[in-house]
Amino acid sequence: MYRALRQPRREILKIRGLNMHLTRWGPEPSAVSPPVFLLHGWLDAAETYQFMVDAFRREWPVIAPDWRGFGRSEWPQEGYGFPDYLGDLDALMDRLSPQWPARIVGHSMGGNIANLYAGLRPERVRCLINLEGLGLPRTFAAEAPKRMRKWLDQIKSPVQEKSYDSFAQLASIIQFRYPRFAPAAAAFVARVWGVPDERGRVRLAADPRHHWVNPILYKREDAEATWREIRAPLLLMLGEESDYLKRLGADGTAEALRAVYPGVELAAIAGAGHMLHIERPELVAPRIEAFLDAH
């Protein structure tokens, strides 16, 4: 098992009617050192940022929330809409960084939330670091009826929860899916992604309803219009071995990214795939710290 070098602190805040779990590292934020928010991706949780936090050279005032329905945060009864993550982040900023523009690091889904928030609330964001959270492929109106029918069927079906014999089995599956994870990291992540259930097995911590389709089509044009409102310095970090950009097609080229993010700084991380903050934290952390120091 991976041994944490910097011990986390945990707390629960009531955010928009739900109990949101926060993981903190480092000192309390201040005007001299405003908070650094770490926003996790889909089916992930805040605590997997432990590897990156341990790779930092200095102590930063880090705040990492578990999104609603992920990790240790509460599950809403009505399901999930993407704008709710923006509402949760806005409320969290009001509570924890009301007088200082914050520094935000987001991975995957968390990077997408961060990008949109930085465009919607540019005055609230001091700088932004995005780890492979560059939107989704374009959709087309003809897909809408099929998508809505599938969602209607899913909400009437029993929720299917995955479970495993043990944390060791879950770790082995994680290691198979993410072969760049060190064995100790896979074991650590299994303890974050899984929780014991009442049958003595291990179930995933994330609400299985996250696997339901979104009944509303993703509109990349709307996202790009919001990204163009970003005023904070922006660093985009990509795993050299990730296939994320390939899935975006023409929207995943450097030219396309620079068109929607004027002044963006691009950085490629060698030997990393999509989960670069876990796979190569010793390379990701110095780039993040240099950017934070510069802004």
Residue 160 is predicted with a pLDDT of: 84
At residue 163's C-alpha, the angle toward residues 19 and 202, to 5°, is: 65
For residue 43, with 0-12 CB atoms within 10 Å meaning exposed, 13-18 middle and 19 or more buried, which class applies? Answer: middle
Residue 195 is predicted with a pLDDT of: 96
Residue 161 is predicted with a pLDDT of: 86
When pLDDT is averaged across residues 92-121 and rounded to a whole number, the result is 97
Residue 78 is predicted with a pLDDT of: 86
pLDDT in tens, 168-195: 999 999 999 999 999 999 999 999 999 9
- 164: number of CA atoms within 13 Å, CB side? 19
Phi, psi of 269 (to 5 degrees): -105, 115
Residue 292 is predicted with a pLDDT of: 97
Report which of 46, 36, 43 is spatially closest to residue 9, judged by C-alpha positions. Answer: 46
Q: Is the pLDDT of residue 79 over 90?
A: no
**What is the fold of 9-139+219-294?**
Rossmann fold (3.40.50)
